[in-house]
Structure formats: structure tokens, C-alpha cells
Amino acid sequence: AQTVTQSQPEMSVQEAETVTLSCTYDTSESDYYLFWYKQPPSRQMILVIRQEAYKQQNATENRFSVNFQKAAKSFSLKISDSQLGDAAMYFCAYRSGDSGYALNFGKGTSLLVTP
């Protein structure tokens, strides 16, 4: 079974600083996608960034970027210039064909942003 591990239940960052959230996953598949989702206190989960396993180049979306290490099965999220609105739960997720195309989520990391 595929598993996604987020080892940091809580993280804290000061406004304008950079923070990295870690995620590791376990799979025997060669083709899969990885995602980071954000769930603010209002509870609506939204996609932050996605990465295809076949692409070596790390995905970037504005202040959000990933460090994808395929051999190590690691997929960390870097948030630069942190803003108060970045405070949320962040979920790492994995999707492949042999999981029935279902999203497998980690337990999440709660990010606190301090002024």
C-alpha cells in the first residue's frame, strides 16, 4: 500500500521568512503525481502545487516551490516570503494508477505564521 508521511505535525515561521515542509512517500510505481494541498481554517482545501514523477525539474508556483527527490522518495514544499495568509494545514498527497487513481494523503502539517 502507498503511504505518505509528513513528519512535522506543526511548524512555525515568521512573516517574510522561508519555511520548508517535508513529505516522504512509499511506492513501487514509476509514474505518479505528487500534490501539496492547503486547508485554511475556513476548511476549503485548495491545490498549492503538483509534480509529475517523470519531470526532473522541480515545480514552482510563485512563492511556492518543491524539492522533488525521486530516488529518496521525498517531496518537500518550500514557502518563500511567508505571509499571514499562508497559515493553514498543508497536506502532501500522492496519486498513481495502482491506487485506483485515488489521492493518498499524509496526516498534514499545521503551519503557523507569526508577525
Instruction: Summarize as ranges the residues that interact with another protein (CB under 8 A).
Output: 4, 31-33, 35, 37, 42-47, 50, 52, 91, 95-97, 100-108
- β-pair partners for 57: none
Q: How far is the CB of 7 from another protein (least distance, A)?
A: 13
Q: How far apart are CA 4 and CA 9, in angstroms?
A: 13
> Whose Cβ is closer to another protein: residue 38's or residue 76's?
38
> Whose Cβ is closer to another protein: residue 44's or residue 84's?
44
